[in-house]
Amino acid sequence: MISFDDALARVFDIAKPLGVETVPFADVAGRVLAEAVTARFAMPRTDVSAMDGYAVREADLRDLPFSLSVAGEAAAGSPPGQVLPDRSASRIFTGAPVPEGADRVIVQENTERTGDHVTFLRPHGAGRNIRPAGSDFVAGEVLVPAGVRLGWRALMTAAAADRGELVVYRQPRVVILATGDELARPGHAHENPGAIPESVSPGIAAFASAHGGRVLRAERLPDTPDEMAVAAVRALADADLVIMIGGASVGERDYSRSVFGATPDYVFPKVAIKPGKPVWLAKTGGRLVMGLPGNPTSALVTARLFLAPLLVGLGGGDAALAVVFETGLCADALPVCGDLETFLRARRTASGLILADSQDSGSQRSLAASDTLTRRLPGAPLSLQALPCRFSIFEVVI
């Protein structure tokens, strides 16, 4: 058994990118860029109008009011290259290319149109209302650097580069195996008095997807070693990471470790934390296997602490950014901490962190309301007053 900090450091060491692939733009959301996105052309491509109004020559402006003939019209998407004749104006809309010769756009609110003439009635102000070509970016400029995860903001910028495909890091393929004779698909546990809803794998599947994993499938397995071994072989053939839920302890019906071989090549066999001490991580045949406890809270806490950085790193992100602790005020009394480093579920409020009413490893009701994990070091004493504490955001998407 090793410490939390040692286990986390080992996760960081092995959480390296799995490779890169070229992906159509429509499928890159959430992926991490392996190569920078550069602009195919400048934006705007030519001088464009920033307002609806009339394009004019500065030299043609007179004392108000005055009129000019309307010589043409340009809308966004119109081909550039129109020429504005002397002593005339061109009707223009936002985003339209400015005609050659025009050096100002006067907004339509300051004008009045009558037939083929426009009269300028009010002062136009100092602004030219023209966005110059290349004022946003130029051809070849890096718009999104490598290493950025393509969230909604980065996606919008990347789209402006006019690239149909992007080079991204490969997503880790994940297979989830949940073990236990007592497990039933949600909605069917009531049919068997000895059954309970299998609640962990849906949460872990959503968690893995949110942290960059591509979940191939989630299977429920009975506590039958032969059947588990067949599923394990199949999972290792398909996935980069196999997540075993349950059977991670040392009971007579805990088979999760043994189905991958008599002596797994452990990254760590268990961790000195509460909840979640039985969590383990091993290598086998070039694949990774993470064993999560079967208790719901233990499973999600250990997933947050170890699975999140593992998936982020395998997918090309910075694993260290997936587990960041900060200091805040706990408004509740903090209990005595025993020999194991302890992570308490809590929620943030204006007055500080409020501990969940149940810290039991099997508790599920309090999970939905918890958004932080409060870190208590071994031997920490009882505190009956508000106290600064270290915590990490529980529900976080990197």
Domain CATH for 333: 2.40.340
Instruction: Output the pLDDT for position 391.
Output: 74
Domain CATH for 112: 2.170.190.11
Q: Which of 305, 320, 335 is where one domain is finished?
A: 320
Question: Does residue 265 share a domain with residue 186?
Answer: yes
Per-residue b or e along 340-350, where b marks 16 or more CB atoms closer than 10 Å to that residue's CB: bbbbbbbebee
Instruction: Output the pLDDT for position 109.
Output: 96
Question: Does residue 181 share a domain with residue 260?
Answer: yes
Residue 398 lies in a domain: no
Question: Does residue 281 share a domain with residue 206?
Answer: yes
Question: Does residue 347 share a domain with residue 383?
Answer: yes
Contact status, residue 106 vs residue 53, Cβ threshold 8 Å: yes
Instruction: Output the pLDDT for position 60.
Output: 95
Query: Across-strand partners of 291?
Result: 244, 280
Instruction: Output the pLDDT for position 263.
Output: 72
Residue 139 lies in a domain: no
Question: Does residue 274 share a domain with residue 176?
Answer: yes
Question: Does residue 104 share a domain with residue 29?
Answer: no
CA 32 to chain centre: 9
Which DSSP string do the residues of 324-389 spell out, in sequence order?
Answer: -EEEEEE-SPBPPP-SSEEEEEEEEETTEEEE-S---TT--TTGGG--EEEEE-TTPPPB-S-EEE
Contact status, residue 329 vs residue 33, Cβ threshold 8 Å: no
Give pLDDT tens digits along the chain (398 positions). Answer: 999 999 999 999 999 999 999 999 999 999 999 999 999 999 999 999 999 999 999 999 999 999 999 999 999 999 999 999 999 999 999 999 999 999 999 999 999 999 999 999 999 888 999 999 999 999 999 999 999 999 999 999 999 999 999 999 999 999 999 987 677 677 777 778 877 777 889 999 999 999 999 999 999 888 888 899 999 999 999 999 999 998 765 554 557 777 887 677 999 999 999 999 999 999 998 999 999 999 989 999 999 999 999 999 999 999 999 999 988 888 888 888 999 999 999 999 988 889 998 888 777 888 888 899 999 999 988 877 667 777 777 654 33
Instruction: Output the pLDDT for position 116.
Output: 96
Contact status, residue 41 vs residue 139, Cβ threshold 8 Å: yes
Instruction: Output the pLDDT for position 262.
Output: 67
Phi (first) and psi of residue 292, to 5 degrees: -105, 145
Question: Does residue 75 share a domain with residue 56?
Answer: yes
197 burial via Cβ count (<10 Å: 0-12, 13-18, 19+): middle
Instruction: Output the pLDDT for position 252.
Output: 47
Instruction: Output the pLDDT for position 398.
Output: 33
Question: Does residue 295 share a domain with residue 219?
Answer: yes
Structural domains in the chain (count): 4
Residue 77 lies in a domain: yes
What domain range includes position 89? 48-131
Per-residue b or e along 199-224, where b marks 16 or more CB atoms closer than 10 Å to that residue's CB: bbbebbbebbbebbbebeebebbebe
What is the edge-to-edge ordering of all strands in the sheet holding 173-179?
214-221, 173-179, 241-245, 287-292, 280-284, 265-268
Of 306, 305, 273, the closest CA to residue 290 belongs to 306
Q: What element of type H or E holds 201? A: helix 200-210
Question: Does residue 255 share a domain with residue 185?
Answer: yes
